[in-house]
Chains A and B, each alone.
Chain A
Amino acid sequence: MKKNKAIKIIGISSYIIFLILSYIFNFNPGKKIGNNFFIFSIDMLKILPPAFILIGLFEIWVKRETVEKHFGEASGIKGYILAILLASTTVGGLYVAFPVAYSLNSKGAKLSVIFTYIGASAICRIPMTIFEASFLGIKFTSIRLIVSISLVIITSIFLSNYLTKKGYNITEGK
């Protein structure tokens, strides 16, 4: 574990040094990489702080029973529908969906609903879907949504059954 950390720190520092040197010596590939880095960082820094404040509020205010009722073992098909609706309004992408899914699970949402939520937030966020349809057509987008959402639900159920059998627990996943 310690060795891993050392590698990470060395990697990150050499990346930063490389960027600084590239700017000093006007090394174009390095400057392009730096630009990419800044563009994406700013993009995510716009989304992450409010997203994590919402996650904090969720953790403090929403009762475990409420999450269990809507997303838990007894939620049935409603849990999947709610997960997809929640996913369609998720901003950003997978990198926001992971912490949300984690919080939901720690409050009692079942695994299959969690995986459905993650999968759905990759494929059916509303602004993205509208954008896609305007470039590739409604037929293309409808096929993609119908096939991918049904497969996401089915595979989520299989995956969660498999993991439950293996005694998997998200909080121990780390």
Chain B
Amino acid sequence: MYFLYIITGLALIASFIADKKKTFKAIKMGYKKFVNILPPFLIMLILVSVILFLVPDRVISNYLGVSHKFYGFLFAIFFGSITLMPGFIAYPLCGILLQKGVPYMTLSAFSTTLMMVGILTFPIEKEYFGTKVTIIRNLISLGIAIAVALVTGIFFNELF
């Protein structure tokens, strides 16, 4: 995070020294782009706040830990796709689940869909790339996540 501020600060100073006018133009442009995308961001934040209330960590860990491996796997894909969590919440949760005996394959399905499949980021992605491409890209991501989970299952001897 600090890294981002340092880079931005340095870039701004360098730009300012090189050309004042251009720097202001750049800031204005960034600001305009930022404001344009705020409404979809607001919608995403609203969705995130409601979904995380409906599906708290406790619920996720109950469903992922069901005794039947296949169902756990399906739940992992489902919850990973519909939620959005920063890594500092998701991985400790995965760590706890691992100690509880949840297979690596299920955790892989959960964490990979969490990162790649963005139902909650849909309002933003759609704004940039259109509805159709957003749907295709997310379906592909879902496929990739399933493939990754299956390969993980093979390497950890959990598939059969």
Partner of A95, one of B11, B12, B27, B41: B41
Q: How far is the CA of A32 from the CA of B37 in the complex (A)?
A: 26
Interface of A is mostly: helix
B160 contacts chain A at the CB level, 8 A cutoff: no
Q: How far is the CA of A143 from the CA of B147 in the complex (A)?
A: 11
Q: How far is the CA of A163 from the CA of B140 in the complex (A)?
A: 14
Q: What is the size category of the interface that chain A forms with chain B? A: 35 or more
A61 contacts chain B at the CB level, 8 A cutoff: yes
Partner of B15, one of A15, A44, A61, A122: A61
Chain A, Cβ-Cβ closest to B44: A95
Partner of B148, one of A47, A101, A118, A144: A144
A152:B4 contact, CB within 8 angstroms? no
B residues neighboring A (CB under 8 Å): 1, 3-5, 7-8, 11-12, 15, 22-23, 25-31, 33-34, 37, 39, 41-46, 48-50, 52-53, 86-88, 91-92, 94-95, 98, 104, 107-108, 111-112, 115-116, 118, 121, 124-125, 127-130, 133, 136-137, 140-141, 143-145, 147-148, 151-152, 155-156
